[in-house]
Structure 1
Amino acid sequence: MIEALLCDIDGTLVQSNWLHAEAWQVAFAGMGIKLEIEDIRQQIGKGGDELVPVFVPWWLRDHVQEPLEAYRKFVFQTGFLHRVEPLPKAREFLVRLKEAGIKPALASSASKQDLTTYKKIVGMEGLIDEETSADDAKRSKPHPDIFSAVLSRLGVKPAKALALGDTPYDAEAAGKAGVWTIGVCSGGWTEKELLAAGCIEVYKDVAELLERFEESALMR
């Protein structure tokens, strides 16, 4: 029996991946780095510590990493955060987990500040057993730190948990923590891409997973 589901948020419970990509695009442009939105979107799911090195050469990184991340945070919170919406049936899915005796936990590369806003957007109050954010781990996804931290807080062994995420980085990070991942395509990745990354099954979004809850890996 699965005891806990370690849920990503961006692109999984809220529709925000493209908004994050836009915010990064603005921030990079401010540093004189012009990027295509889709190239950035494919990196969303990683924390800034892992995303910035994809686009910034090593010899510039020490100079721009911190100000770039700070500017991106400002751009997102002032210009994009108010546009984030919950994905269909996100709250109902969390309620169903509780009814099934499965502990919902948040395992996100988002900041604690953004996490607080997301919880209000979805209406998660009283539904989440534990949570970790980028502030609780030295390394962001695809490193396992965030998943390992939330498992420790829950007191649940990896074999008794599953992860839920929308990117290959979720599956990679959870896998390194010894946890299998259910994938959803709501963040822009295809079923084929998520399966190739290690997801054991993939759904269109959490609404479809809720609809097929009884036959999903959550109940096996």
Structure 2
Amino acid sequence: MNINFNLVKAVLFDFDGTLADSMWMWDDIDIEYLGSRGIALPDTLQKEIEGMSFSETAIYFKETFHLDDSLEEIKADWNRMAMDKYIHEVPLKTGVLEFLQLLKSDGIRMGIATSNSRELVDAALKSLAIQDFFQTVTIGCEVAAGKPSPDIYLKVAERLQVRPEECLVFEDVPAGILAGKRAGMPVIAVQDNFSDSMTEEKKELADMYINDYNEMIRLWKGGRTRRKQ
């Protein structure tokens, strides 16, 4: 499918692995969190929890690993373990800032649809100094079902007051790509080292695949009719 960038009124982004180079740290956190309880990290864990909201993931951990901690305690531990990494160790992916600036200059509305917690994504956006680009940030816990259900992307479109077909989604994993497609939106898959093993699946599911946002900037400029000044 060819994406008509002239029809796009809003761009919707996943956060981890899409805007921020942060997926690596969640594997480290899972290893540390489970290891402190004498549990080895299952090889299939990341695929099992792919797309789940923060709360859905906590439920999965509690039930799968028979944890005594409450759901709130589990989430509080994850927030504590991740906060310092988000503030000090997580960078933007290549070309993100320049692409956000380009979208803003073109009058494009922007929103985030993330499975992360409100505390972490707000802290990360502030640390990366990109919070002012986005008119809305929606987390998975605010909708009935996490990705691959379309709920979160439909909610972001509603908050931005645009129709689903006027949106363009950026995602890094298959569950997120499916969520965008099921919402009736074109989806561009973004390369991420964490999901390199899923590259072919991502290419099959998405309308387009990019290696970085510098590539996207060239595509956007070439695919939109520029207004004469």
Short-chain TM bin: 0.7 to 0.9
Q: What CA RMSD, in Å, does the superposition of the two structures yield over aligned residues?
A: 2.8
Distance 2:116 2:216 in 1: 23
Unaligned segments of structure 1, at least 5 residues: none
Distance 1:59 1:71 in 2: 16
If the length of structure 2 is used for normalisation, what is the TM-score? Answer: 0.80
Per the alignment, residue 182 of structure 1 pairs with: 188
Measured after TM superposition, the shift of residue 18 of structure 1 is: 0.7
Q: What is the aligned counterpart of 1:153 among 115, 136, 159?
A: 159
If the length of structure 1 is used for normalisation, what is the TM-score? Answer: 0.83
Distance 1:122 1:90 in 2: 11
Per the alignment, residue 130 of structure 2 pairs with: 124
- Amino acid of the residue matched to residue 128 of structure 1? F
Per the alignment, residue 194 of structure 1 pairs with: 202
Q: Structure 1 residues 15 and 40 mapped into 2: Cα distance closer, same or farther (>3 Å)?
A: farther
Q: What is the aligned counterpart of 1:208 among 203, 208, 215?
A: 215
Larger radius of gyration between Structure 1 and Structure 2: 2
Residue correspondences, number: 215
Aligned: 1:94 with 2:88: no
Distance 1:185 1:81 in 2: 23
Contact kept, 8 Å, 2:113 with 2:156, in 1: the verdict is yes
Measured after TM superposition, the shift of residue 58 of structure 1 is: 5.4
- Write the deviation string for residues 153-172 of structure 1: whole angstroms up to 9, x where unpaired: 11111111111111112111
- Write the deviation string for residues 29-57 of structure 1: whole angstroms up to 9, x where unpaired: 23332115x64454454334444576665
Unaligned segments of structure 2, at least 5 residues: 1-6
Contact kept, 8 Å, 1:23 with 1:80, in 2: the verdict is no
Q: Structure 1 residues 147 and 173 mapped into 2: Cα distance closer, same or farther (>3 Å)?
A: same
Identity of aligned residues (%): 24
Q: What is the aligned counterpart of 1:69 among 75, 88, 94?
A: 75
Q: Which runs of 4+ in 1 moved over 6 A?
A: 53-56
Q: What is the aligned counterpart of 2:19 among 13, 20, 41?
A: 13
Per the alignment, residue 4 of structure 2 pairs with: none
- Write the deviation string for residues 125-178 of structure 1: whole angstroms up to 9, x where unpaired: 432122212342243222222212111111111111111111112111112222
Distance 1:140 1:193 in 2: 20
Alignment of 1:164-179 (within 5 A): 164-179=170-185
Q: Secondary structure at the match of 2:127?
A: helix
- Amino acid of the residue matched to residue 173 of structure 1? A
Deviates more, 1:43-52 or 1:119-128: 43-52
Q: What is the aligned counterpart of 1:139 among 127, 145, 157?
A: 145
- Amino acid of the residue matched to residue 116 of structure 2? A
Aligned: 1:35 with 2:44: no
Q: Secondary structure at the match of 2:110?
A: strand
Distance 1:55 1:112 in 2: 19
